[in-house]
Amino acid sequence: MKEDVKVCFYPYEKDVVVKRGENLLRAALEAGVHINASCGGEGHCGKCRVLIKSGEAECRECKKLTPQEIEVGYRQACRTTILSDLEVFIPPESQLDKSALERKKGTQSSGRHISSQILEKLVSGARFNPALWKHFLEIEPPSTQDNTSDLSRLLLLLKRQHNIENVSVDFLVLKKLSQILRQAEWKVTVTLVQTRVESQLGEYQLRGSRRPKLINVEPGNTVDTHYSVVLDIGTTTLWGQLIDLTNGATLAESSEYNPQVSYGDDVITRIVYSQKKGGLKKLQELVVTAINRIINDLLKKSGKDRRFISHLTAAGNTVMTHILLGLNPKYIRESPYTPVANFIPPVRAIRLGVEVEDFVYLYTFPSVASYVGGDIVSGILGSGVYQRKDLTLYIDIGTNGEIVLGNADWLLTASCSAGPAFEGGGVKFGMRATDGAIEGFDIHPTTFEPMILTIGMVKPKGICGSGIISIIAELLEAGVISPNGKFNVELNIPRIRKGSDGFEYVLAWKEETQIEEDITITEADIDNVMRAKAAMFAGCHSLLEKANLKVSDLSQIVIAGAFGDYIDLEKAIIIGLLPELPLEKFLFVGNGSLLGAKLISLSNEMLDDGERIARKMTNVELSEDRSFMEKYIAALFLPHTNAELFSKTIQRMKAFKNASRAGTGGKK
Ligand code: FES
């Protein structure tokens, strides 16, 4: 665990506590300190020069500084690693204006960004105990005195050496068993899985006892090479991780846009397309192609062999799960909205077209209802909400926004279509949270120059979800846009201009980007984000209303979403995406769905818990709720038409504006 260090920024006299090894520009952003930075942290614009007054900070490729400057303590903040407590002076050319200090005073920095890594500690009872495991066996060959069958010899040894009995056997194992035993001179590794006894009729029920099933036998000792792929099948984005089943380590992570987006942005249009001739097959092939690309990437990044992937787990909303499995989603869309099944038995992955060995099964998370899927069940599992006594609101901000309210005793859930804006969709330069995506943004309050930080600290390519939230909040606070989302053209600055989609703000000029064109945020983008945040906000308030509760009754709000490494909670409140509550009440858990999928890969107990959560949730249908529509329309404003709901935020924004004016003698 890295130790905490304190960085104090002068002349602002603002400090922030970060982990040793943190990047200095990121620490400044965390502290709410503006440093000019227009290349995303790649190191080539040279605008982020700072002077280290005391402490240790390592400069990596500060190419824009002379050896003499480095000698006296200058560093490029974006290329500097914090090694100890620091005192950092920001020279005038990097801050431009002292009013940035005033504007930022009073902002809380601690607790704004919460790493998703702490999430695993939220769940109790997650014992490392995967449902799949391997054993190496040295079997006695048959003889004239003992000509017991090959399988009996193997099972007998399993019982004797590992006390495993009552094993069912996959037929594929029998097909290859004799040959492998002899080729491998009776030294083999077996793979077993704890599986339900499949004896029920009708809808597959995953209740009841489990028993071990022998699913693979391979030559030699391969117990140390045993992997699982966990997947989050989102409407807009797919995420995957390669997990080492011997120790629980995450070996690699990868993501892809869901190629089905070409056939519709949301689940409804996908269902419509699936009903066309060959539509379902087409959509299924597309998602499987993306899964195969993710698996290839995971194997490339980790240097592991495909043969040793033993298991796949996927969490997705009900429609995505149906399409992945080739199940007809038609009746999900038609009243009374029924899925084919909520609990689906594991499926042989190769039958879906997933490029893994033939013995590998795909387990999909159970769903609750047509529009409340396995991804939300997975998120509730991963965040431990179902174990807590206190009242929690869980919000998964994605194309299909999902909300859960409850505690260890009860769970209410609802879904609202937010659209893909927070995943980069419907935003002109939107992109996934990968290298080159702008994820952090700050604007100078009087010059309106940007400070941008990209994932991977490279030249910007586009904007990811957390970046979009930051950008809109900053533009609003600085008065660059109005509460109705329109640009204040009277500012008369070169960064605000009329583009092909109406007015826009230039975040990075062509020469500062990787894409050889200016990266902008447009009024149309802002409008899409406003719709998305209004849907999420109205959904939360509607669910609270159904339970006869208020925002102030909440002990904690858990935020999930594949935004990137973090979301700035304060900025999410400023745009009215999240309710105005003390920041300590919020917890950002990153991609909760992926984490839940990982947990069940690593723990049999968690697998049972996931199934219990799905049974416990009660779904609330919002699509036909008039009060939801009213709340939605009222929320189409920044932060909201009802100023009382965001009184502190509005007050603070006014204070910022006054301070900015005071710092420049009244800019506007
Ligand atoms: S050189 Fe540091 S942000 Fe450009």
Confidence class of residue 528 from pLDDT cuts 50, 70 and 90? very high
Residue 113: its pLDDT value, please?
Answer: 36
For 102, what's the count of Cα atoms within 13 Å in the CB-facing half-sphere?
17
The CB of 41 under 6 Å from ligand 1? The reply is yes
How many angstroms does the Cα of residue 482 sit away from the middle of ligand 1?
A: 29
The CB of 45 under 6 Å from ligand 1? The reply is yes
Helices (H), 312-357: 318-325
Residue 125: its pLDDT value, please?
Answer: 66
The CB of 453 under 6 Å from ligand 1? The reply is no
pLDDT at 134 over 60: yes
The CB of 43 under 6 Å from ligand 1? The reply is yes
pLDDT at 291 over 80: yes
The CB of 508 under 6 Å from ligand 1? The reply is no
Give the residue with greater pLDDT, 221 vs 109. 221
Per the prediction, the chain carries an average pLDDT of 86
Contacts of residue 238, defined as CB under 8 A and 6 or more positions apart, other chains included, come to 231, 232, 255, 256, 257, 258, 287, 290, 291, 294
Sequence-distant contacts of 403-409: CB under 8 A, at least 24 apart? 403/536, 403/539, 403/540, 403/543, 404/376, 404/379, 404/380, 404/617, 405/543, 405/544, 405/547, 405/549
Residue listed under structure tokens 């249908």 = 621
How many angstroms does the Cα of residue 6 sit away from the middle of ligand 1?
A: 22
Tokens of 328: 């007809």
Residue 567: its pLDDT value, please?
Answer: 75
Q: What average pLDDT does this structure show over 2-26?
A: 88
Ligand 1 atom closest to residue 35's alpha carbon, by position in its atom list? 3
Angle in degrees, 0-180, between the axes of helices 318-325 and 279-302, rounded to the nearest 10 = 90
The CB of 602 under 6 Å from ligand 1? The reply is no
Give the residue with greater pLDDT, 612 vs 575. 575
Q: How far apart are CA 90 and CA 103, in angstroms?
A: 16
Q: How many CB atoms lie within 10 A of CB 342?
A: 22
Ligand 1 atom closest to residue 37's alpha carbon, by position in its atom list? 3
The CB of 29 under 6 Å from ligand 1? The reply is no
Lowest-pLDDT range of 167-171, 487-491, 586-590, 640-644: 586-590
How many angstroms does the Cα of residue 79 sit away from the middle of ligand 1?
A: 8
The CB of 483 under 6 Å from ligand 1? The reply is no
pLDDT at 207 over 90: no
Q: What average pLDDT does this structure show over 354-370?
A: 92
Confidence class of residue 198 from pLDDT cuts 50, 70 and 90? low
How many angstroms does the Cα of residue 226 sit away from the middle of ligand 1?
A: 42
pLDDT at 448 over 80: yes
Ligand 1 atom closest to residue 79's alpha carbon, by position in its atom list? 2
Confidence class of residue 121 from pLDDT cuts 50, 70 and 90? low
pLDDT tens, position by position, 22-38: 999 888 888 878 787 77
The CB of 48 under 6 Å from ligand 1? The reply is yes
Ligand 1 atom closest to residue 78's alpha carbon, by position in its atom list? 2
Ligand 1 atom closest to residue 41's alpha carbon, by position in its atom list? 3
The CB of 76 under 6 Å from ligand 1? The reply is yes
Ligand 1 atom closest to residue 77's alpha carbon, by position in its atom list? 2
Confidence class of residue 221 from pLDDT cuts 50, 70 and 90? very high
The CB of 75 under 6 Å from ligand 1? The reply is no
Q: What average pLDDT does this structure show over 269-274?
A: 94
Task: Choose among 308, 311, 331: nearest CA to 222.
Answer: 308
The CB of 113 under 6 Å from ligand 1? The reply is no
Hey, which bits of 319-436 come out as E strands?
347-348, 361-364, 392-396, 400-406, 411-417
Contact 268, 235 (CB under 8 A): no
Residue 660: its pLDDT value, please?
Answer: 64
Tokens of 153: 């010899």
The CB of 28 under 6 Å from ligand 1? The reply is no
Confidence class of residue 118 from pLDDT cuts 50, 70 and 90? very low
Give the residue with greater pLDDT, 584 vs 298. 298
The CB of 126 under 6 Å from ligand 1? The reply is no
Lowest-pLDDT range of 88-102, 281-295, 571-585, 625-639: 88-102
Q: How far apart are CA 548 and CA 426, in angstroms?
A: 35
pLDDT tens, position by position, 547-559: 999 999 999 999 8
